[in-house]
Structure 1
Amino acid sequence: MDAEENYASFLEKVKRTIYIDNMSPAATDSVVKAAFNQFGNVLSVHFIPNYLDPKNVPQAALVEMETPKQAEDIIAEMEVYPFMILGMPRPVRARPAKLEMFGDRPRKPGRRILCQWINSKNPDFEVAQKIKNLVKTHAAEASFLLMEQLKEEEKLAAQQNETLKANYRKFELIDGVNEDGTAKQLAHYYNMRTSDS
């Protein structure tokens, strides 16, 4: 495949891919696939690394669908309904993917990129230093928020687990009452009819 065809194929891939962000750090490849397979066939899920966070926990992903129509339907659906991950609604946003989001994008035929170092005497050097400091501050804030979010999600998961266990114990208790004949005895005592009588 020559460069032109390779780039055209990549552009088609971009059209059927959606970008989702604000995901739970607990979301996995299988969780995201299960959520989006209800809209169509998911071809691939690529998590975008968060390079500003020391633990590199992804909170965004590129989800490639089988057709551009499926991608459009997901974007429209997520504007109306909350996205559920592990039984919890998440403020996940979906948008069409852009060329720049793909780390493995092929070089556009005929495009050239020139890079250069900025000298400390260059007027843009001070702007670059400010941006560098701003990025460091943002990284520290993002890391703190992510750790707080993880703590909250672990706490909520523990609460949901306890509730599930309590409900299961209630179910076992009710099931035990039916099996040992206590329900029939109580029905007879209170002059009530049971479903099997």
Structure 2
Amino acid sequence: MGTSAEEVYAAFLEKVKRTIYVDNLSPQVTEPVVRTAFNQFGYVKSVQFISIYLESKNAPQAALVEMENPKQASSIITEMGSYPFMILGMPRPIRASAARLEMFDDRPRKPGRKILCRWLDPKEPEFQEQRAEEEKLASQQSETLLAQYKKYDLLQAVFEDGSAKRLGRHYEMPVADA
């Protein structure tokens, strides 16, 4: 006999409660390493790395770590907020927080959820609220993009004026051209 949509969704919500989101992991960290590190808090049921497509392969990565129960997950979040966490022998400012529904690629559809579409008259207050919210989001995205461009320009200037090569020679590290 099949499982109802409500039961599937309830089981998914329980999974979310016992799962933590961990980020700023070293790119060299693998699933067995994460399992070993978190097994000291309790049994790790699964580890799922979250792909970050916009960053280079050397960028920190994130993972969803499902524990056996919500108490273990809560304990990890509290513990990692208080002490530096060691993975691969180096202290790293790894952050842990409770997982959220939207972090899971395999989340089931919420039972009874309906998507309604309708046209709004530009004079309706609801339309004005939605437009204001979208303009605020566009402004935030624009500011973030501008900040990223400034970082890029700063890094480019460091390479162009030779500072990077001088620092590389001083610390005996090779520096590639930008």
- Fold in common (TM above 0.5): yes
**Which residue of the other structure, out of 22, 25, 49, is the alignment partner of 1:23?**
25
Give the unaligned 5+ runs of structure 1: 117-121, 144-197
Task: Report the Cα distance in structure 2 between the residues aligned to 1:88 and 1:58, rounded to whole angstroms.
Answer: 14
Task: Report the Cα distance in structure 2 between the residues aligned to 1:61 and 1:5, rounded to whole angstroms.
Answer: 26
Task: Report the Cα distance in structure 1 between the residues aligned to 2:56 and 2:140, rounded to whole angstroms.
Answer: 19
Q: Percent identity, please.
A: 61
Judged with a 3 Å threshold, the aligned counterparts in structure 2 of structure 1 residues 54 and 139 are, in CA distance, closer, same or farther, namely farther
Aligned partner letter, 1:39: F
Q: Which structure dedicates a bigger proportion of its chain to helix?
A: 1
Judged with a 3 Å threshold, the aligned counterparts in structure 2 of structure 1 residues 106 and 141 are, in CA distance, closer, same or farther, namely farther
Task: Report the Cα distance in structure 2 between the residues aligned to 1:86 and 1:140, rounded to whole angstroms.
Answer: 33
Tell me which residue corresponds to 1:2.
Answer: 4
Report the TM-score, using the length of structure 1 for normalisation. 0.59
Tell me which residue corresponds to 2:51.
Answer: 49
Tell me which residue corresponds to 2:96.
Answer: 94
Judged with a 3 Å threshold, the aligned counterparts in structure 2 of structure 1 residues 57 and 106 are, in CA distance, closer, same or farther, namely farther
* Offset of residue 131 of structure 1: 6.4
Deviation per CA, 1:67-125: give whole Å up to 9, x if none.
11111111111122211121101101111111111111111011123579xxxxx995x
Larger radius of gyration between Structure 1 and Structure 2 = 1
Give the unaligned 5+ runs of structure 2: 119-126, 153-178
Q: Which runs of 4+ in 1 moved over 3 A?
A: 54-58, 113-116, 126-143
The question of whether the paired residues in 2 share the 8 Å contact of 1:52 and 1:139 is answered with no
Judged with a 3 Å threshold, the aligned counterparts in structure 2 of structure 1 residues 111 and 44 are, in CA distance, closer, same or farther, namely same
| Number of equivalent positions | 138
